């Protein structure tokens, strides 16, 4: 039976890949679909995986969908990987999963690295219930979304880039109040990994005097009133 396998890859530390992920990429697929073929080649070289790799990213996924689905139906075994973490989580993957399901192709997603889980658990904020927002809209709809998030009674997770961190923390403080608790997880699993916890004001104070670099997850306490 034809099948697509989604394979999570490390978010920094190359050791964070499962034995099963390596085996599947090495021995059980004919082709690896990758968001960035050069980045994926580094991982594949590291694990001595010699497999053909082809590009599948947000700029070509619509055009590629049909061709890929037909090739899987014809018997090719394929894996989808992205630059880091789990495909489909703020990354390409959803459209392909949906297209495969609608064509009765089996889809299997391996458990593995994703940035928001360690960021959430390590924040010290309640992780029994949470809302994953991913990236906020950069412009249109941003204020509306911030107001909606401010009312949520559960922990909120945002992905953010370093150059927008301060602006976003400022807007969160405006909508949620300066004393709302939060955490910034930066460079998870990498040499300069850091989790900073505090009120939104304290985080703004800290990052106003810092050269902000690296990949970032923001965790914000829910509205507990
Ligand atoms: N698919 C990925 C996942 O499963 O987490 C997310 C991909 S998304 C395009 C990239 C964003 O994830 C970054 O901008 C950052 O917000 C977050 N991220 C990825 N790696 C990270 C890391 N090592 N430390 C902190 N955040 C990270």
225 residues of the chain, pLDDT tens digit each: 689 999 999 999 999 999 999 999 999 999 999 999 999 999 999 999 999 999 998 888 888 899 999 999 999 999 999 999 999 999 999 999 999 999 999 999 999 999 999 999 999 999 999 999 999 999 999 999 999 999 999 999 999 999 999 999 999 999 999 999 999 999 999 999 999 999 999 999 999 989 999 999 999 999 998
Residue 20 placed within a domain: yes
Q: Does 31 share its domain with 90?
A: yes
Q: Does 7 share its domain with 93?
A: yes
CA dist 160 and 134 (Å) reads: 8
Residue 85 placed within a domain: yes
From the CA of 133, how far away is ligand 1's center (Å)?
13
The enclosing domain of 82 has a CATH number of 3.40.1010.10
Q: Is the CB of 217 under 6 A from ligand 1?
A: yes
Residue 225 placed within a domain: no
User: Which atom of ligand 1 lies closest to the CA of 185?
Assistant: 25
Q: Does 8 share its domain with 105?
A: yes
Choosing from 90, 109, 128, the residue where a domain stops is 109
The residue range of the domain holding 98 is: 3-109
Q: Does 28 share its domain with 105?
A: yes
Q: Does 7 share its domain with 104?
A: yes
Q: Is the CB of 188 under 6 A from ligand 1?
A: yes
Residue 130 placed within a domain: yes
What is the tally of structural domains in the chain?
2
Q: Does 162 share its domain with 71?
A: no
CA angle 198, 150, 184 (to 5 degrees): 30
Q: Does 102 share its domain with 169?
A: no
The enclosing domain of 161 has a CATH number of 3.30.950.10
User: Which atom of ligand 1 lies closest to the CA of 119?
Assistant: 25
Choosing from 109, 125, 159, the residue where a domain stops is 109
What pLDDT is attached to residue 225?
81
What pLDDT is attached to residue 215?
98
Residue 215 placed within a domain: yes
What pLDDT is attached to residue 122?
98
Q: Does 161 share its domain with 199?
A: yes
Q: Does 97 share its domain with 123?
A: no
What pLDDT is attached to residue 1?
67
Choosing from 78, 109, 140, the residue where a domain stops is 109
Q: Does 177 share its domain with 215?
A: yes
Q: Does 101 share its domain with 135?
A: no
Residue 89 placed within a domain: yes
Q: Does 91 share its domain with 128?
A: no
Q: Is the CB of 218 under 6 A from ligand 1?
A: no
Residue 36 placed within a domain: yes
What pLDDT is attached to residue 59?
84
């Amino acid at each position: 039976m034809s099948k697509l396998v989604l394979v999570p890859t490390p978010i920094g530390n190359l050791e964070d890949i499962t034995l099963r992920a390596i085996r599947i990429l090495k021995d059980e697929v004919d082709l690896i679909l990758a968001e960035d073929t050069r980045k994926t080649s580094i991982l594949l070289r590291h694990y001595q995986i010699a497999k053909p790799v082809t590009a599948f990213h947000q700029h070509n996924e619509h055009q590629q969908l049909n061709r890929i689905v037909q090739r899987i139906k014809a018997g090719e075994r394929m894996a989808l990987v992205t630059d880091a973490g789990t495909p489909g989580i703020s990354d390409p993957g959803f459209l392909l999963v949906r297209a495969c399901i609608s064509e009765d192709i089996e889809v299997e997603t391996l458990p593995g690295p994703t940035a928001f889980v360690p960021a959430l658990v390590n924040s010290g904020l309640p992780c029994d219930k949470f809302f994953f927002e991913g990236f906020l809209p950069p412009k249109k709809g941003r204020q509306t979304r911030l107001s909606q998030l401010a009312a949520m009674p559960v922990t909120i997770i945002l992905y953010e880039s370093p150059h927008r961190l301060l602006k976003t923390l400022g807007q969160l403080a405006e909508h949620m109040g300066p004393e709302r608790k939060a955490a910034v997880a930066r460079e998870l699993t990498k040499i300069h990994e850091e989790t900073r916890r505090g009120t939104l004001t304290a985080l703004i104070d800290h990052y106003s005097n810092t050269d902000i670099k690296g990949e970032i997850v923001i965790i914000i306490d829910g509205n507990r009133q």
